[in-house]
Amino acid sequence: MSGTNGINDPSVSASTTTTTTTATQADEHVFLPRGTVLIAGGGPVGLILARVLSYYGVRSVLFERNKTTTSWPKMDLTNGRSMELFRKLGLADDLRRQGVPPHIDQDVLISSGLASKEAITRWELPGVDRFRQRIHEHNDGTQPQEPYQRLSQALFEKWLKAICDQDPLIELHYGNKVESVQETADHVKTTVTNVETGKSTVYVSDYVAGCDGASSRVRKSLGFPLDGGPVPKCVLLVHFKSRDLSRLHVQGQFWHIFFLSDHAEGGFGSTIIAQDEVDTWTTHLFLPLDAEPDKIESHDAVYRALGGLHGPYPIEIDEVLVRSVWRPNIAVTRQWSSAGQRVHVAGDAAHQNIPTGGYGMNMGIGDAFDLGWKLAAVINEQAGRDLLQSYEAERKPVALRNVERSGVHFQLHDRLKDEFIAGGDPHRVDADTEEGRQLRAAIHEYYQQHDGENKDFGIEMGYRYQSPVIVPDREATEPAWTPSQYTPTSWPGGRPPHVFLSDGTAIFDKFGKHWTLLVFADDSQNSTSGQELVAEAAASLSIPLKVVALPGEDLAKRLYEKPLVLIRPDQHVAWRGDQVSSLQEAEKLLNVVTGRVRPDSTAGEGQKAAPSVAFTATQELTTQVEDFKLEKMAAFQM
């Protein structure tokens, strides 16, 4: 919906104003109702942030420079952690209906080209049905509540926009570009230009979220330095329709194939992505930076990508949908929030990574959830303004670690040539000789030992926040963290374990919309652990809290480690303990976790210093503050 009438004075509360945004006075100044969040950018992160805010009863107005959602095939996997969050919003089942059917497995193949007899090796990745079965069979806290889901970004955005269009708390204004933001003591002024009329309007709001992608104007306005750098390659993407399955599936059905390529002297040189298991595909041809990809015709690019080591492999292409040259890039913004905590950046505006691992949008969804519930809690007066400071402290370390990991995954492919092929004819990898067999066995072993690209649960759901609103456990030792595995623990700051309870219900489904106190005490019906004190304190502080008593749930009790575990709205542990012994103690606890009072220590505040070394897979570390630029970058990266 697009609001078009009325003027709202910022001093008037949202409940007594109309809900629209048209300027009628003050020279193009529009005052959004109190408590409205202005969102710059209608990519996946801006749209999902609008939905998180709406879930918590907060109004948003979103400006997107394009007139429609994207047609670029970027993200194609929503991971298990994001699906858990979508489930909380009530969107997971509907999202799945848009995507690849659940019975289809999603193997990743490593191949020397489709003309070879068979792929060299594969990562066997289950489809949603088999993944779900695995989750049920391993009810030990190591699994996500929800399997991942394949869905191309072009379809994802269209689906999410349609949901936002129907939402009375969300106003979408496509065809409107955010030019700049300016924070003052008690509001933010955002200048927006209508791309058709050229008319500029200044919107005045309490808060702004910059979800405006890699070239974020919001980030630039705030002068946040972006540290990172691109990999020394450019990529020619061709997105196309083809029903030539007999040629495409010659080595079996696949989700992705990574090809050893002639133009890469036998090293990794191209990929294909099956977008929908019907007729939509994307090839990426990785080229040296000095190549001239514009001179490669789209059909030829697809044939070259699929041919690998063996020269072009033609297929029937029904239609080329889009093509572009783009540049894999790794970067993280040094600051995430403005001095007054009224402006925050999220998604690709805050971090960019190489697509290996599928971390980009999934991290952005984590940002949107973290920022969304906190903004809502502050706006709804269920938290103190200091809660917003924890956004950068919590999300920046996740971004630094994940973008680095995307480079580690990328290097696995990029090192193929040096590890196995260099110093001889690359075609020997396919030869029916002892050397060929040994080479293939070695490559197989190499990929089987490094198979974390879409399995690294430590990265995807094992991240633990340290911030002033997380109460540390000073009595125990923090469990070890590894990128590859999620360690079931209720360690404060982490996502607690998913587990099915004795009646088959998932524990996450027992959590409340806002805060949850889990009580594992054996006498939890007549408590001595003090849960009623926490409930009483929450009521007196206007903090919505659901107390969930779980007597007799021995498995969950063991995995959750403590009799009392306080869960935040984003399903992270805020505090755990044996008991609360006074109302005063309960109030102090709730005041700390909602940012109303500062804790004794402020461990984990965001690091403002620049990283001192480049990321894996990037050659040099550069810092950009003004306009974002990369050599050979695509329109969808701007």
Ligand X SMILES: Cc1cc2nc3c(=O)[nH]c(=O)nc-3n(C[C@H](O)[C@H](O)[C@H](O)COP(=O)(O)OP(=O)(O)OC[C@H]3O[C@@H](n4cnc5c(N)ncnc54)[C@H](O)[C@@H]3O)c2cc1C
Question: Is residue 38 within 8 Å of residue 32, measured between CB atoms?
Answer: yes
Which residue, chain included where needed, has tokens 């269209």? 158
Tell me how far, at minimum, the Cβ of 550 lies from ligand X, in Å: 33
Residue closer to ligand X, measured from CB, 307 or 358: 358
Tokens of 276: 């929908």
The yes or no reply on residue 453 touching ligand X (CB under 6 A) is no
- Whether the CB-CB separation of 107 and 123 falls below 8 Å is answered with yes
Distance CA 500, CA 390 (A): 31
Q: What is the DSSP string of 440-482?
A: HHHHHHHHHHS-GGGT-HHHHH--B--STTS---SSSPPPP--
Nearer to ligand X, 221 or 261 (CB): 221
* Residue (354 or 518) nearer to ligand X, CB: 354
Measured in Å, how far apart are the chain's first and last C-alpha atoms? 27
Among 121, 153, 527, 591, binds ligand X (CB under 6 A): 153
Strands 329-333 and 351-352, sheet pairing: antiparallel
Q: 347: left (phi > 0), else alpha (psi -120 to 50), else beta? A: left
Least distance from ligand X to the Cβ atom of residue 345, Å: 9
Could you give the CA distance from residue 215 to residue 628 in angstroms, rounded to a whole number?
5
Q: Select the residue interacting with ligand X from 144, 267, 355, 458 (CB under 6 A).
A: 355
Pattern of binders to ligand X over 165-204, x per CB under 6 A?
Answer: ------------xx--------------------------
Residue 557's φ and ψ, nearest 5 degrees, are: -60, -40
Segment lying near ligand X (by CB under 6 A), choices 72-80, 99-107, 515-523, 556-564: 72-80
Cβ proximity to ligand X: between 469 and 630 the closer is 630
DSSP for 102-125, please give it.
TT----EEEES-TTSSS-SEEE--
Stretch that binds ligand X, among 60-68, 86-94, 129-137, 413-421 (CB under 6 A): 60-68
Among 308, 360, 407, 458, binds ligand X (CB under 6 A): 360
Query: CA triplet 92, 329, 350: central angle to 5 degrees?
Result: 60
Find the shortest distance in angstroms from Cβ 258 to ligand X.
Answer: 13
- Long-range CB contacts (within 8 A, 24+) of 525-529: 525/549, 525/551, 528/579, 529/563, 529/564, 529/578, 529/579, 529/580
DSSP state of 347: G
Closest CB to ligand X among 351 and 440?
351
Q: Which of residues 521-550 bind ligand X (CB under 6 A)?
A: none
- With CB under 6 A as the contact rule, which of the stretches 65-73, 107-115, 474-482, 535-543 interacts with ligand X? 65-73
CB of 197 to ligand X, least distance (A): 15
Q: What is the 3-state secondary structure (H, E, C) of 182-217?
A: EECCCCEEEEEEECCCCCEEEEEECEEEECCCCCCH
Does position 74 interact with ligand X (CB under 6 A)? The reply is: yes
| Beta carbons of 36 and 60 less than 8 angstroms apart | yes
d(CA 560, CA 555): 9
Nearest distance, CB of residue 363 and ligand X, angstroms: 7
In this chain, which of 66, 191, 253, 380 binds ligand X, going by CB under 6 A? 66
Question: Residues in the chain, how many?
Answer: 638
Closest to ligand X by CB, 361 or 499: 361
Q: Identify the bridge partners of residue 547 per DSSP, sorted by sequence position.
A: 517
Residue 64 is a binding residue for ligand X (CB under 6 A):
yes
Residue ranges in 198-257 that form contacts with ligand X under rule CB under 6 A: 211-213, 217
Q: Distance between CA atoms of 426 and 433, rounded to whole angstroms?
A: 14
The reply to whether 358 sits near ligand X by the rule CB under 6 A is yes
Regarding 369 and contact with ligand X (CB under 6 A), the answer is: no
- C-alpha to C-alpha distance for 552 and 558, rounded to whole angstroms: 11
How far apart, in whole angstroms, are the C-alpha atoms of residue 279 and residue 275? Answer: 8
Tell me how many residues contact ligand X (CB under 6 A): 32
348 is a contact residue toward ligand X (CB under 6 A): yes
Verify binding: residue 361, ligand X, rule CB under 6 A: yes
Give the range of 70-78, 133-141, 412-420, 594-602 binding ligand X by CB under 6 A: 70-78
CB nearer ligand X, residue 49 or residue 590: 49
**CB closer to ligand X out of 347 and 468:** 347
Stretch that binds ligand X, among 98-106, 163-171, 305-313, 351-359 (CB under 6 A): 351-359
List 548's β-bridge partners, or say none. 518
Residue whose CB is less far from ligand X, 66 or 411? 66
Assess 75 for contact with ligand X (CB under 6 A): yes
CB 92, CB 80: distance < 8 Å: no
Q: Within 13 Å and on the Cβ side, how many CA atoms surround 520?
A: 20
Question: Which of 35, 228, 347, 384 is the binder for ligand X (CB under 6 A)?
Answer: 347
Q: Give the shortest CB-360-to-ligand X separation in angstroms.
A: 2
Q: C-beta of 153: minimal distance to ligand X in Å?
A: 5
From the CB of 206, what's the least distance to ligand X, in Å?
19
Number of other residues whose CB lies within 10 A of the CB of residue 102:
16
Which window, 62-70, 158-166, 436-444, 464-472, contacts ligand X (CB under 6 A)?
A: 62-70
The answer to whether the beta carbons of residues 241 and 317 sit under 8 Å apart is yes
Task: Tell me if 76 contacts ligand X by CB under 6 A.
Answer: yes
Contact 38, 61 (CB under 8 A): yes
Minimal distance in Å, beta carbon 271 to ligand X?
A: 9
Query: From residue 249, how far is each of 116, 266, 277 by CA, in Å?
Result: 12, 22, 11
Q: How far is the CB of 299 from ligand X (least distance, A)?
A: 20
Taking CB under 6 A as the binding criterion, the range among 74-82, 469-477, 494-502, 544-552 that sits at the site for ligand X is: 74-82
Which part of the chain contacts ligand X (CB under 6 A), choosing from 71-79, 253-261, 332-340, 534-542? 71-79
The contact pattern for ligand X, residues 38-57, with x = CB under 6 A and - = no contact, is --xxxxxxx-----------
Site residues, ligand X (CB under 6 A) = 40-46, 63-66, 70, 74-77, 153, 177-178, 211-213, 217, 347-348, 355, 358-362, 364
